[in-house]
Amino acid sequence: MFRLIFILLVFTSATTAQVGIGTTSPEGALDIFASNSGVLFPRVALTAKNVAAPVLNPDGGLLAVSTVVYNTATAGVSPNVVKPGYYYWSGTDWVSFATDTNLDYLGIPRTAVFESSSNISNFLNGIGAGGKQNIPMTEITNHTGSNGLTFNSATNQITFNPGVYQISFAYEGTHNRAGCTVSSHFVDFPVGSGSSTRIHSTATHNSGGTSNYGGIIQYVTKITSTRVWTIALGRGQSGNCYGTGNFIRGVSTQLSILRLSDD
């Protein structure tokens, strides 16, 4: 039976240059139809991005450009590290397919965006310099992948997996208290396995009802172990705005995070 199928495939290929598996009407050089199974590419353990072996050309000579394999190993030395996933041979090295598990390897940033869903009145009222207050956020989008970050809306906390991230905190507010002319805020960004780095933003503005102000606080951090971080904005040392009247605007206050790499 196998010999008969093989002869039919060879005959079909020789006469029409098309092969159909699971279909009698192939619409390409090879047309495979199945409703409950997939196609398995050769699974090999590559040793480095710039080394073709152990994959060989069965006819001898150089490995054919566009040869596709599924790599099962993490191996090689930077910049020729390979990780599990699909690769094709370019003629000089293995090129990784753009999948969720290897976007870090390709150096493609992945984005998560959060937005303050409502206004906050009397922000930081009763909180002195160096103190901070949570800013509840809503997740707008998160494409950081399975090795990126997750958001807990109940606690307003982000859990970071190890990697390099660019975090940007944009805020917009007003302060209508008399004599308030300098608003100073900070964000404590997570770093490493348990520490943090404080970055300030200070803005001067009018005193009274037209005292709108805002800023963007940004930091690039390397997380080395799983971290849980609460979204909050603090009161800086150099401001003179205290008491009631501080108003943080929803929608205009946002947090964006780019996952840059895994090391």
Q: Which positions of the chain have pLDDT values less than 50?
A: 1-14
Q: How many C-beta atoms surround the C-beta of residue 47 within 10 A?
A: 17
Residues in the chain: 263
- The pLDDT assigned to 98 comes to 65
Residues 92 and 131 in one domain: no
Task: For residues 34 and 151, state if they share a domain.
Answer: no
Of 142, 159, 156, the residue nearest 257 (C-alpha): 142
pLDDT reported for residue 102: 55
- Amino acid (one-letter) located at 96: S
Please tell me whether residues 168 and 240 are part of one structural domain.
yes
Q: Is the domain of 154 the same as that of 255?
A: yes
117 and 223, same domain (yes or no): yes
Look up the CATH number of the domain holding residue 150: 2.60.120.40
List Cβ neighbours of 114 (8 Å cut-off, separation of 6 or more): 137, 138, 139, 140, 151, 231, 254, 255, 256, 257
* pLDDT tens profile 113-128: 999 989 999 999 999 9
Strand, helix or coil at 105? helix
| 71 vs 41: CA distance, rounded Å | 10
Place of tokens 């660019």: 166
For the entire predicted model, the pTM comes to 0.66
DSSP-derived secondary structure for 144-192: S-TTSEEEETTTTEEEEPSEEEEEEEEEEEEE-STT--EEEEEEEEEEB
d(CA 208, CA 125) in angstroms, rounded, equals 17
**How many angstroms from the chain centroid is the CA of residue 30?**
36
Query: What's the pLDDT at 106?
Result: 56
SS3 state at 11: helix
92/59 same-domain check: yes
Torsion angle in degrees (nearest 10) through CA of 147, 260, 225, 191: -150
126 and 92, same structural domain?
no
* Distance between CA atoms of residues 219 and 111, nearest Å: 15
The alpha-helical segments, DSSP class H, found in the chain are 2-16, 103-106
Q: Is the domain of 140 the same as that of 41?
A: no
Q: Are residues 10 and 131 in the same domain?
A: no
Token look-up 């807990």 returns 152
Report the alpha-carbon distance of residue 135 to residue 251 in Å, rounded. 12
Identify whether residues 125 and 208 lie together within a single domain.
Answer: yes
Nearest to 168, CA basis, from 213, 102, 214:
214
Residues 155 and 89 in one domain: no
Query: How high is the pLDDT of residue 201?
Result: 95
* pLDDT tens per residue, range 125-181: 999 999 999 999 999 999 887 778 999 999 999 999 999 999 999 999 988 888 889
Please tell me whether residues 117 and 216 are part of one structural domain: yes
Residue 182's beta-bridge partner residues? Answer: 204
Which residue range(s) make up the domain with 146? 110-261
Check residue 79 and give its pLDDT: 81
> What's the distance, Cα to Cα, between the start and end of the chain in Å?
53
Q: Which of 106, 123, 143 is the last residue of a domain?
A: 106
Number of domains making up the chain: 2
- Predicted local confidence at residue 81, as pLDDT: 86
From 83, 106, 129, the end of a domain falls on: 106
Given 51, 74, 106, the domain boundary residue is 106
